[in-house]
Amino acid sequence: MSADEEVGEAISRAGGLAVVAVLTPILTGTAALIFLLVGYALKLLDPELAFAETMLTVGWLSGSVTAVAILGSAITLLFTALRNRPPEQDLDPEATASTPAQNARAGLRTLDFASFVAGERRSHLREEWAAVLAGDPGSGIVLSRRRRLRYALGFLWAALRMRLRDLTGPLWLPVDWLLSVESRTHGFITLAVGAQVVYIEYEDGLHALVTEGWGWCAGCGIALRLLVGRLRRIRGIELASAHDDSGGR
Amino acid sequence: MLLTSTADDPAWGLKICEEADLGSGTVYPILERLVDAGWATRYEESGEHPGRPKRYYYELTAVGQQAAHQAKERKPRLFGLRSATEGGAL
C-alpha cells in the first residue's frame, strides 16, 4: 500500500469521528438556542404556561450539553488529528529543510489539524496550505516562526468556517427563497407588521394603536426592510430589477 | 488582487494574503465561495517546483470579471447622494 493510500485510509477512518465531533456541539447548540427562544417567547405571551418552563429547562440542559460537547470535541479532534498525522516526508522534505525542524513541526501540526477539520472534500488544501507555509523566498517573502503559526491558525479558522458553511448552508435555503423575490419579501414584512398591528389592537385597543402603537409598527417595518437589504448583500442576492432603471432585464 | 493578476504572475494563497493584507482565515473561505460561485477557478502549478510543495493558483473567470466590474461601478449609494459611478478602488 502506498503512503498516499495509507493516509487516505487513516483520514477515512477518523472522518466519522471528526464529523460527530464537529456536528454534536453545533446540533446541541442549535437545539438550545431554539428551545430557549421558543421558551422565552411563550413565557412572554403567557407567564403561567408550564410548557414554556419545560422548553426553558430543556434549552438550558442542551446549553450545558453544548458546553461539554465543545470541550470534548476539541480534545477528540486534536488527538485524532495528531494520531492520524500523515508522515512528514509527504510534505516535500526539501521544502522544510531550510527552516528549523521545530518551527516546521509546529506549523505542520496545526496545518494537519486544519486540513483534517476542513474535510476530505477539501483534501487539496493540505498541499496548498503547505505551499503557503513554505513562503516565497523568490519574492522576498520568508515567513518567521510566528508568521507561520499565524498562517497555520488562520487555516484552522478557515477550515472551521468552511465546515460551518457546509452545515448551515441548508438553513439559508428558506431565507434565500424569501429574499430572492421582492413580492415575497414585501409579503413577509407586511405579515410581520400586520401581526404587530393586530396584537397591539387586541391587547391595548385601537386608541393605543393610533396614538402610540403606530410608531412601533413603522419602526418594525423599517427595521425589517433594512435587515432584508443587509441580508441580500450578505447572501449576494441581487434582484433583476434593483439596478436596472431602464425597465428590467 | 485577482483582477490584477496575470498569467506570468498568477495569484496564489500567500500572495493574496500578503498583498491584500488579510489573514488566511479570511482569504480562503472567500476563495472557496468564489470558486463555488463560478467566479474564479483554481488550478495546480504545472511547472517544476523544486524544494517546495505545489502551489495552487486562482484566476477570475469571465463571469467573475464581469461581476467584479459591475460591482466596482455599482458602489453603494448613500441615500442617493453619491452617483453610481463614483467610488474608490475595489
| Identity of the residue in A92, A141, A161 whose CB atom sits nearest the CB atom of B14 | A141
Owner of C-alpha cell 470541550: A71
Q: Report pLDDT for A20.
A: 72
Mean pLDDT of A210-236: 89
* pLDDT of residue A105 exceeding 50: yes
Owner of C-alpha cell 488579510: B22
**Residues A13-63: tens digit of each pLDDT:** 555 666 677 778 888 888 888 888 888 888 887 777 788 888 888 889 988
Backbone region of residue A173 per phi and psi (left: phi > 0; alpha: psi in -120 to 50; beta: other values): alpha
The chain B residues in contact with chain A (CB within 8 A) are: 12-15, 17-18, 23-29, 32-33, 37, 50-56, 74
Q: Is A174 on the interface with B (CB under 8 A)?
A: no
Question: A135 falls in which pLDDT band (50, 70, 90)?
Answer: confident
Lowest-confidence range among A4-8, A128-132, A155-159, B69-73? Answer: A4-8
Question: A101 falls in which pLDDT band (50, 70, 90)?
Answer: low
Q: Is A146 on the interface with B (CB under 8 A)?
A: no
Q: Report pLDDT for A7.
A: 46
Question: A173 falls in which pLDDT band (50, 70, 90)?
Answer: confident
Beta carbons of B82 and B75 less than 8 angstroms apart: yes
Q: Is A236 on the interface with B (CB under 8 A)?
A: yes
Mean pLDDT of A83-112: 58
- Asked whether the beta carbons of residue A141 and residue B74 sit closer than 8 angstroms, the reply is no
- Asked whether the beta carbons of residue B37 and residue A236 sit closer than 8 angstroms, the reply is yes
pLDDT in tens, chain B (90 residues): 787 877 778 899 999 999 889 999 999 999 998 999 899 999 998 888 778 888 999 999 998 888 888 877 776 655 544 444 444 333
CA distances from A228 to A138, A217, B7 (A): 47, 16, 40
Q: Report pLDDT for A124.
A: 87
The amino acid that residue A174 corresponds to is: P
SS3 B56: strand
Q: Report pLDDT for A28.
A: 85
Chain pair A-B, CB pairs under 8 angstroms: 81
- Asked whether the beta carbons of residue B55 and residue A131 sit closer than 8 angstroms, the reply is yes
For chain A, the average pLDDT equals 79
The dihedral over CA atoms of A40, A43, A49, A50, expressed in degrees to the nearest 10, equals: 30
What is the pTM assigned to this prediction? Answer: 0.58
Helix axes A101-118, A50-83, angle to 10 degrees: 140
* A151/A159 Cα distance (integer angstroms): 12
Q: Which residues of chain B have a CB within 8 Å of the CB of A236? A: 37
